Amino acid sequence: MYEIYDHYASEYDALISHEDHENNLYNTLRDRFHWHGATIVEAGIGTGRVTRTYIDLVSQVLGFDRSEHMLEEAARNLAPWVGKLRLGPAEHTALPLPDGVADIFIEGWAFGHVAVDRPDETQAVARELISEAERVTKQSGTIVLIETLGTNTDEPAAPLPVLSHFYRALEEEHGFIHDVIRTDYLFDSPDQAEELCGFFFGKEMRDAVRARDDVNVPEFTGIWVRAQRAPGRTHR
């Protein structure tokens, strides 16, 4: 996936343009959180797919991603709001920001990659990521994490054991609660579904989508939320 993020941002954007066709993520984020006039820090901003759900409402967005290629695509996608947008390269655990700038900290499908990269360090990964999110968020603020609960599956579940452990750490050690929503893809044809899903998720997914032979590819997404606490404190 890092190869895709570093070199194929427009192709990735073609895939996600078919995602959440019922606007469940859009409606959930818009309805649940207070965006009006807020300063947002978004880690793993990618091409701006999450950002587009709220950017018209906020005061400013400070968006970061490890891939400058993705940031270039985000700048194009978010060009209508350039006056309230600041983008820059950064790792999720080292954001170039002072303490306490965000009313809302948000990430989408980004923290899970770090957990997958370090499968034997789930608790440490959660601690490092949440510590940095806490640091840059105001004491009155909110931390919002959006992660996968499965693509091309009929029931919500972490698609890898390491993600199951990571999600459990978010809840049991850091006090997050989560909701599940559907973010199904709707493609123009079964062939397009097979091609685009295979491009991003790989051969096994390509074969599974081909077997489904449908323009609709089901997907589940989890939204983990927690009000800010003092930096460095963990839930017990």
Question: How high is the pLDDT of residue 1?
Answer: 64
Question: How high is the pLDDT of residue 234?
Answer: 39
Q: Which residue has the tokens 């999600």?
A: 167
Please give the Cα distance from 37 to 107 (Å, whole number).
19
Residues of the chain scoring pLDDT < 50:
231-236
Domains of the chain with bracketed CATH: 2-184+215-227 (3.40.50.150)
Question: How high is the pLDDT of residue 230?
Answer: 52
Question: How high is the pLDDT of residue 220?
Answer: 98
- Token output for 126: 């959660």
Which among 228, 201, 235 has a CA at the least distance from the CA of 33? Answer: 228
Question: How high is the pLDDT of residue 80?
Answer: 98
Please give the Cα distance from 138 to 40 (Å, whole number).
11
Is residue 41 within 8 Å of residue 105, measured between CB atoms?
yes
Q: Which residues pair with 151 in a beta bridge?
A: 219
3-state percent breakdown (helix, strand, coil) of the chain, nearest 5? 40, 25, 35
Neighbours of 89 (CB within 10 A): 12
Query: Residue 47: is it exposed, middle or buried by C-beta count within 10 angstroms (0-12/13-18/19+)?
Result: buried
Please give the Cα distance from 51 to 106 (Å, whole number).
9
